[in-house]
Amino acid sequence: MGYKGFSDFRSDTVTRPTEEMRKAMYQAEVGDDVLGDDPTVQKLEELAAETVGKEAALFVPSGTMGNTIAIKLGSKEGTEVILEEKCHIYNFEAANMARYAGVMPRPIKSENGQMPLEEIDRNIKTVLREHIPGTSMICLENTHNYWGGAVLPVEYIMQVKAIAMEHNLHLHLDGARVFNASTALNIDVKEITKHFDTIMFCLSKGLCAPVGSILAGSKEFIKKARFVRKSLGGGMRQVGILAAAGIIAIEKMSKRLEQDHIRAKKLAEGIADLKKLKVDLNSVQTNFVMVELEGISSFEFLDELKKEGVLALPFSETRVRFVTHNDIDDRDVEKAVKAIRKILK
């Protein structure tokens, strides 16, 4: 049962900490993390670094802060950062790359989160004159939020990496949901993360921790990242209370995401035959279901859906997003299918 008794498909950010997390939080050994004294944070950061195959990791309050620090340190002020046009960093992070890193975004169009390689290549500025900023960084997003939780294949990532290496560019992954990607590809998450210089992933989305994200990279990079985190107001004191939940998020919750993917498929299959909507079953690769409505606006539809006890999010006038997660079970999916069918019959 989700928020106020609703079956809540708005986002995987609505997940609440599990019983095991709550107990671990209560019992967590803590210290002042700004002074480097919190053993639970240290344990989380070591575990996170090892999990994604990097030398070091930093616990940050949010994904936005993790990405902001990565860009601040991975890019160079007055240069361009290449990213996909619909990505989270460019669209939903309060223009932080401009504010804090002093860089220009160079957004590139795609149909599925994968910027065409020739477009990446074409947009890298190497011939510099006084009035042309160079390129310093490329960011990818996996899974891709806007493109319905789409997964970037490893082969694609490797091709982007080759371009980044050729031009000496920093490659960063907004991996807010990177465990959904590795689950969908049925590979160890390192097979994805090893191609990046830095990775941000969220503990507080499908992994159910109440707060927090991880930024991982080289020892030297993370040492500098600690300073930037502090400058952004992200130095936290007895934060082992939160890190304790983060440890369970990585050790346990990252291994159950297939259930969410199966339920998302079930939801999509349960409504795909309806005439008044379109859902592309092939695009349901992880825990998102994007529905394109016909003859009813998203807002009208969501009002009706709410009356049936189901919540989802509008993505545009005609586009609605459903997300499955740990607080959605088979009954919630059945309830949502029944409600959608009733409204659009």
Ligand X SMILES: Cc1ncc(COP(=O)(O)O)c(C=O)c1O
* Whether the Cβ atoms of residue 198 and residue 215 lie closer than 8 Å to each other: yes
3-state helix, strand, coil in the chain (%, to 5): 45, 15, 40
Q: Which is nearer to ligand X, 150 or 344 (CB)?
A: 150
Total number of residues that touch ligand X (CB under 6 A): 10
CB atoms within 10 A of CB 55: 13
The number of angstroms, rounded, from the C-alpha of 76 to the middle of its chain's C-alpha atoms is 24
* Whether the Cβ atoms of residue 170 and residue 32 lie closer than 8 Å to each other: no
Distances 324 to 72, 177, 193, 210 between C-alpha atoms, Å: 33, 13, 24, 17
Q: Which is nearer to ligand X, 18 or 68 (CB)?
A: 68
- According to the binding rule CB under 6 A, does residue 260 interact with ligand X? no
Q: Which residue stretch of 60-68, 132-140, 241-249, 266-274 sits at the interface with ligand X (rule: CB under 6 A)?
A: 60-68
Shortest CB 5 distance to ligand X, Å: 24
Q: Which of 8, 45, 141, 332 binds ligand X (CB under 6 A)?
A: 141
**Side chain identity, residue 153:** P
- According to the binding rule CB under 6 A, does residue 171 interact with ligand X? no
- According to the binding rule CB under 6 A, does residue 63 interact with ligand X? yes
Q: Which of 136, 213, 254, 326 binds ligand X (CB under 6 A)?
A: 213
Shortest CB 175 distance to ligand X, Å: 8
Q: How far apart are CA 17 and CA 22, in angstroms?
A: 6
Q: Which is nearer to ligand X, 40 or 213 (CB)?
A: 213
Q: Which of 64, 136, 180, 324 binds ligand X (CB under 6 A)?
A: 64
Q: Which residue stretch of 41-49, 61-69, 106-114, 148-156 sits at the interface with ligand X (rule: CB under 6 A)?
A: 61-69
Shortest CB 199 distance to ligand X, Å: 12
| Among the listed residues 67, 135, 65, 63, the one whose alpha carbon sits nearest the alpha carbon of residue 105 | 135
Q: Which of 72, 88, 226, 261 binds ligand X (CB under 6 A)?
A: 88
- According to the binding rule CB under 6 A, does residue 62 interact with ligand X? yes
Q: Which residue stretch of 59-67, 106-114, 179-187, 257-265 sits at the interface with ligand X (rule: CB under 6 A)?
A: 59-67
Q: How far apart are CA 299 and CA 74, in angstroms?
A: 40
DSSP state string for 92-154: HSTTHHHHHH--EEEEE--SSS---HHHHHHH---S--TT---EEEEEEESSBTTTTSBPPPH
Q: Which of 18, 51, 68, 145 binds ligand X (CB under 6 A)?
A: 145
- According to the binding rule CB under 6 A, does residue 202 interact with ligand X? yes
Lookup: tokens for 42: 């240290």
- According to the binding rule CB under 6 A, does residue 12 interact with ligand X? no
Lookup: tokens for 90: 């460019």
CB atoms within 10 A of CB 280: 13
- According to the binding rule CB under 6 A, does residue 44 interact with ligand X? no
Q: Which is nearer to ligand X, 45 or 270 (CB)?
A: 45
The residues binding ligand X (CB under 6 A) are 62-64, 88, 141, 145, 174, 176, 202, 213
